[in-house]
Each structure stands twice: as structure tokens, then as C-alpha cells.
Amino acid sequence: MTEQIGILGGGSWGTALGILLANKGYDVTIWLRDKYQVEEINNTRINNKYLPDVVLPPNLKVSNDLEYSISNKKALVLSMSTHGIRDVLSKAYSYIKPNQIIINVSKGIESETLLRISQIVEEFLPENTYVVLSGPSHAEEVSKNMPTTVVSASRDKLAAEYVQDLFFTSTFRVYTNPDVIGVELGGALKNIIALGAGISDGLNYGDNTKAALMTRGIIEIARLGEKMGANINTFSGLAGIGDLIVTCTSMHSRNRRAGILIGQGIKVDEAIRQIGMVVEGIRTTKSAYNLAQKYNIEMPITSEIYGVLYEGKDVKNSVLNLMIRDKKNELEDIIKDKNNTW
């Protein structure tokens, strides 16, 4: 019998991964909350809202039935906005069996609790094995088989390798990593820096500015990650600098596009409306700002972006604040390696 995989969430990324798995021969079901969207996709075989240029394979099903989408599945992929995960798990956990592997592909930090997604999942599913799949991977490109590399991270080596095998294709290369904390934080926090890169573009600043934001941004991400128990090496890999580069430089990035609008003087709520999809970096900025306070660490880029998003600060003044900070030696920020193995 063909192995069955369930995907909870049918946005662009969940749909792209569903296409990838279905093309490998798996029996895939994507669950969507909106029954009208389910009907449209089943009638047209296209997810017009998120991936209008790609026809879904015949072995990729779309359903509004949560229990059906979960039952008898070897693995369940969580692919939804971070702030929606708790609500969905509260409805889904009674259908999920302890032997089902949970694969998270969402990127964010819960704003009310400051929990990573693995920690939310553990509250509902303490017996299930958890894997996070992350890296520089725009859904628009993955759905068209453009070469992509990502990382599968889990405390359980065999589970990380299972997910590696599950998704691995000639155009989708998967590495493994034991550092769940680092991979989750890298995927979430890079969205903040991408907002900053977009704001820089909206202000018509140049490549120098964006390079500075990206370079100093990864230092901030690593600084917080180190405090929270991550392996510093993770941030030089696919889930760190790799994801940061792609999100800060591509027009596929919702966070960068939202930042561009904000840099042009458009209000945050209007920028979100114009993007038309979840902009994870806006909520994540608040979470990261609060985590920086909690761990008593400096995150100057995050702090200035927080000021722009939540306190109405002028973006040009925020850039000036970053430029005139106290002089420093760059190597002060190099963090010593922490070995982290399975």
C-alpha cells in the first residue's frame, strides 16, 4: 500500500510540498479550513489563490475534513501560519496517534507565549516524534522543480533521516541536523531581517545597506540562538544564512515585499492587506523583541524594526540610530562554538 501523508494547511508552501510528495508517488491529502477553496481546487486542480501556475497531480487530494486528513497517515506536515498552529492542534490532536511523525514546515515564534513551534507541538503531542524542515525554499520555485536545498532537524536521528528520504528528489536536496532550536530560530528570525531589507529597498538605499543588514542580522540571530541553546554552526548553514539570503533578496518573499511598502511610507496594516497573505516577520519581530528583553541581549536591528512596526518610529531615523551606535570591534560578536550532536 502506498504510504499516506497528511498536510495541514494549503497555502503556497503546503501545496508545493504536497505536489513534490505526490510526484514521488505518495498518497497525499492537504487539509484546508475553507470549504469553498477546497471545492474550487478539486474542480480546477489548481490552487489559484497561492500557486496559480501549477496543476495538482491526480494523487494529491484536498479536503475540508480534518479527521480524514489525519487518519492513517504515516506523517503529518504542519504548514500554516504560526499563530494558527495552536488552534488547529487543539482540534486535531485527538485524531493524531503517537506513532505519527510530526513535520513542521512553518517559521515563526508564538507571540503570546514566545514558544517555538516544537514547544507548542509538545504541549499537545508529547509522545510524537517531531521534525522541522527548513531552509531557503520559495514555494513558487519548488513547485516548478527548481533545484533547492533544505535541512531536516530532529532530536531523533532516525526521524530526521526519514524526513530526508521522504522529501529527497533530484531537485530537492535535504540535509540532516540535530539542532532543532537553531533551525527553528533561523527560519523564524530571518523574516525580521527581510522586513528590514525590504524597508531599505523602499527607501531606495543600495546594495551596501542590504549587505550590512544581512551580515549584522545573522549576528543578532546567532546571538539570541546561542542564549536559547542553539548550535552556532547552524546559523552558517541552510536554515541560517541560506534562508536569510533568499528571503532578503527575492521578490517571492512576502516579508521583503511588505518591508518595501513600509519603506515607501505605507502603513503596516495596509502593507499586509496589499500582500494578501500572512507576513510572519511582523509578528515575529514582536516575539524576538520580547525574547531579547527576556535574555537581556542586544538586538539593535530587531529593536529598530520593532519601533517602526509597533511604535510608529520614522524609518529613516531608525536607520540613523543603527549607524550612530557606539563604535565596536566586529569580532566582539563572534560566539564560541558549542558542540551539539545526536
Using pLDDT thresholds of 50, 70 and 90, give the confidence band for residue 275: very high
Closest CA to 77 of 132, 150, 1: 132
Q: Is the pLDDT of residue 333 over 70?
A: no
Mean pLDDT lowest among 96-110, 160-174, 220-234, 309-323: 309-323
pLDDT at residue 321 in the model? 86
Percent of the chain with pLDDT over 70: 97
Percent of the chain with pLDDT over 90: 90
Domain co-membership, 88 together with 199 = no
Paired residues of 148 in beta bridges: 172
Closest CA to 288 of 195, 209, 177: 195
E strands, 9-78, are 27-31, 46-47, 51-55, 60-63, 75-78
Give the tens place of pLDDT for each residue, 204-234: 999 999 999 999 999 999 999 999 999 999 9
Domain co-membership, 169 together with 26 = yes
- What CA–CA distance (Å, rounded) separates 269 from 273? 6
Q: Is the pLDDT of residue 339 over 80?
A: no
pLDDT at residue 332 in the model? 67
pLDDT at residue 335 in the model? 55
CATH number at 237 reads 1.10.1040.10
Question: 162, 178, 194: which is the final residue of a domain?
Answer: 178
| 74 has catalytic annotation | no
Helix (H/G/I), strand (E/B), else coil: 160 = helix
Kindly name the residue from 190, 267, 313, 338 that is annotated as catalytic: 190
Q: Which three cell numbers stand for residue 255?
A: 516579508
Query: Has residue 65 been placed in a domain?
Result: yes
Q: Is the pLDDT of residue 148 over 80?
A: yes
Query: Has residue 60 been placed in a domain?
Result: yes
Handedness of CA 255, 261, 264, 265 (dihedral sign): negative
Q: Is the pLDDT of residue 330 over 60?
A: yes
Give the tens place of pLDDT for each residue, 7-45: 999 999 999 999 999 999 999 999 999 999 999 999 999
Domain co-membership, 36 together with 155 = yes
Query: Has residue 106 been placed in a domain?
Result: yes
Domain co-membership, 156 together with 212 = no
Question: 122, 144, 178: which is the final residue of a domain?
Answer: 178
Domain co-membership, 160 together with 70 = yes
Domain co-membership, 224 together with 320 = yes
Domain count, the chain: 2
- Per-chain mean pLDDT for the chain: 94
Q: What is the CA radius of gyration of the chain?
A: 20
Domain co-membership, 97 together with 220 = no
Query: Has residue 137 been placed in a domain?
Result: yes
* Domain, as residue range, for 293: 181-333
Question: 132, 161, 178: which is the final residue of a domain?
Answer: 178
pLDDT at residue 121 in the model? 98
Domain co-membership, 37 together with 92 = yes
- pTM here is 0.94
Domain co-membership, 196 together with 303 = yes
Give the tens place of pLDDT for each residue, 116-140: 999 999 999 999 999 999 999 999 9
